[in-house]
Amino acid sequence: MAEKKIMLGNEAIARGAWEAGVTVSAAYPGTPSTEISESIVKYEEVYAEWSPNEKVAMEVAIGASMAGARALASMKHVGVNVASDPLYTVSYIGVNGGLVLVAADDPGLYSSQNEQDSRAVARAAKIPVLEPSDSNEAKEFIKFAYDLSEKYDTPVMLRTTTRLSHSQGLVNLEDRIALEPKPYEKNFRKNVMMPGNAKFRHLHVEAREKQMAEDGCAFPINRVEMRDTKVGVITSGIPYQYVREAMPDASVLKLGLVNPLPKQLILDFAKKVDTLYIVEELDPIIEEQVKSWGVACKGKELLTVQGEYSANMLREKLLGQTLDLESPAAAPQRPPILCPGCPHRSTFYAIQRLGLHAAGDIGCYTLGAVAPLSVVDTTVCMGSSISTLHGMEKARGKEYVKNWVATIGDSTFMHTGVNSLMNMVYNQATGTVLILDNSTTGMTGHQDHAGTGKTLKGDIVNAIDVTKLCEGMGVPNVRTVSAFDVKALMAAIKEEVTKDELSVIIVKAPCALLNKAKITMQYKVNPDACRACGSCMKPGCPAMTKGADGKVVINDTMCNGCGLCAQLCPFGAIEKVEV
Partner 1 sequence: MDTKNIMIVGVGGQGTLLTSRILGGIAREAGYDVKLSEVHGMAQRGGSVVTFVRYGNSVAEPIVEEGCADVLIAFERLEALRYAHFLKKDGVLIANDQRIDPMPVVIGAAEYPDNILENLEKKYKVLKIDAMSEAKKLGNARAFNTIVLGMAAKHMDFPKEQWITVIEKTVPPKTIELNTKAFLVGYEM
| For partner 1, the closer CB: 215 or 316 | 316
Q: How far apart are CA 445 and CA 572, in angstroms?
A: 35
Q: How far apart are CA 302 and CA 317, in angstroms?
A: 6
CB burial of 172-193 (b: ≥16 within 10 Å; e: otherwise) equals eeeeeeebebbeeeeeeebbee
Residue 167 interacts with partner 1 (CB under 8 A)?
yes
Q: How far apart are CA 296 and CA 527, in angstroms?
A: 72
At 516, phi and psi to the nearest 5? Answer: -55, -35
Per DSSP, the three-state class of 544 is strand
Q: How far apart are CA 306 and CA 373, in angstroms?
A: 30
Among positions 1, 323, 460, 548, the unique one binding partner 1 when judged by CB under 8 A: 323
Nearest approach, Cβ of 542 to partner 1 (angstroms)?
6
Given a contact cutoff of 8 angstroms between Cβ atoms, the answer to whether 348 and 358 are in contact is yes
Given a contact cutoff of 8 angstroms between Cβ atoms, the answer to whether 101 and 156 are in contact is yes
Given a contact cutoff of 8 angstroms between Cβ atoms, the answer to whether 492 and 479 are in contact is yes
Among positions 311, 369, 473, 490, the unique one binding partner 1 when judged by CB under 8 A: 311
Among positions 292, 327, 428, 462, the unique one binding partner 1 when judged by CB under 8 A: 327
Residue 397 interacts with partner 1 (CB under 8 A)?
no
| For partner 1, the closer CB: 42 or 468 | 42
Residue 372 interacts with partner 1 (CB under 8 A)?
yes
Q: For 12, left (φ over 0), alpha (ψ -120 to 50), or beta?
A: alpha
Nearest approach, Cβ of 311 to partner 1 (angstroms)?
5
Residue 14 interacts with partner 1 (CB under 8 A)?
no
DSSP label at 400?
A: G
Cβ atoms within 10 Å of 292's Cβ, excluding its own: 8
Packed helices 54-66 and 84-93: angle between N→C axes, nearest 10 degrees: 20
DSSP label at 183?
A: P
Nearest approach, Cβ of 338 to partner 1 (angstroms)?
7
Q: Which stretch binds partner 1 (CB under 8 A): 330-338, 398-406, 459-467, 476-484?
A: 330-338
Nearest approach, Cβ of 335 to partner 1 (angstroms)?
6
Residue 161 interacts with partner 1 (CB under 8 A)?
no
| For partner 1, the closer CB: 35 or 117 | 35
Among positions 88, 115, 126, 166, the unique one binding partner 1 when judged by CB under 8 A: 166
* Contact string (CB under 8 A) for partner 1, positions 16-55, x = contact: ---------------xx-xx--------------------
CB-based contacts of 175: which residues, under 8 Å, 6+ apart?
Answer: 19
Distances (CA, A) of 238 to 119, 248, 414: 14, 15, 34
Given a contact cutoff of 8 angstroms between Cβ atoms, the answer to whether 146 and 102 are in contact is no
Q: How far apart are CA 216 and CA 203, in angstroms?
A: 20
Nearest approach, Cβ of 331 to partner 1 (angstroms)?
5
* Contact string (CB under 8 A) for partner 1, positions 442-461, x = contact: -xxx----------------
| For partner 1, the closer CB: 8 or 221 | 8
Q: Reply yes or no: is the peptide bond before residue 340 cis, omega within 30 of 0.
A: no
Nearest approach, Cβ of 248 to partner 1 (angstroms)?
9
Residue 370 interacts with partner 1 (CB under 8 A)?
yes
| For partner 1, the closer CB: 106 or 393 | 106
Which is it for strands 552-554 and 544-546: parallel, antiparallel or unpaired?
Answer: antiparallel
Residue 195 interacts with partner 1 (CB under 8 A)?
no
* Contact string (CB under 8 A) for partner 1, positions 523-542, x = contact: --------------x--x-x
Residue 227 interacts with partner 1 (CB under 8 A)?
no
Per DSSP, the three-state class of 537 is helix
Among positions 328, 458, 570, 572, the unique one binding partner 1 when judged by CB under 8 A: 328
Residue 170 interacts with partner 1 (CB under 8 A)?
yes
**Closest to 397 (Cα-Cα) out of 366, 425, 374, 431:** 431
Q: How far apart are CA 338 and CA 364, in angstroms?
A: 7
Residue 332 interacts with partner 1 (CB under 8 A)?
yes
Residue 136 interacts with partner 1 (CB under 8 A)?
no
Nearest approach, Cβ of 574 to partner 1 (angstroms)?
17
Residue 343 interacts with partner 1 (CB under 8 A)?
no
| For partner 1, the closer CB: 32 or 409 | 32
Per DSSP, the three-state class of 470 is helix
Among positions 18, 28, 146, 242, the unique one binding partner 1 when judged by CB under 8 A: 242
Given a contact cutoff of 8 angstroms between Cβ atoms, the answer to whether 414 and 52 are in contact is yes
Note the helical H segments in 217-284.
Answer: 239-246, 263-272
Q: How far apart are CA 288 and CA 119, in angstroms?
A: 13
Q: How far apart are CA 510 and CA 512, in angstroms?
A: 6
In angstroms, how far apart are the furthest CA atoms of the chain?
A: 82
Q: How far apart are CA 280 and CA 461, in angstroms?
A: 45
Among positions 196, 336, 474, 547, the unique one binding partner 1 when judged by CB under 8 A: 336
Given a contact cutoff of 8 angstroms between Cβ atoms, the answer to whether 252 and 279 are in contact is no
Among positions 557, 570, 572, 579, the unique one binding partner 1 when judged by CB under 8 A: 557
Q: Return the H-helix or E-strand segment holding 386.
A: helix 384-396
Residue 371 interacts with partner 1 (CB under 8 A)?
yes
Residue 545 interacts with partner 1 (CB under 8 A)?
yes
Among positions 296, 331, 548, 579, the unique one binding partner 1 when judged by CB under 8 A: 331
Q: Which stretch binds partner 1 (CB under 8 A): 80-88, 299-307, 336-344, 482-490?
A: 336-344
Residue 236 interacts with partner 1 (CB under 8 A)?
no
Residue 134 interacts with partner 1 (CB under 8 A)?
yes
Q: Which stretch binds partner 1 (CB under 8 A): 199-207, 324-332, 426-434, 492-500?
A: 324-332
Residues 291-310 that bind partner 1 (CB under 8 A): 310
Q: How far apart are CA 410 and CA 437, in angstroms?
A: 5
Nearest approach, Cβ of 168 to partner 1 (angstroms)?
4
Query: Site residues (CB under 8 A) for partner 1?
Result: 6, 8, 31-32, 34-35, 110-111, 134, 163, 166-170, 238, 241-242, 244-245, 310-312, 323-329, 331-339, 364, 367, 370-372, 443-445, 537, 540, 542, 544-545, 556-557
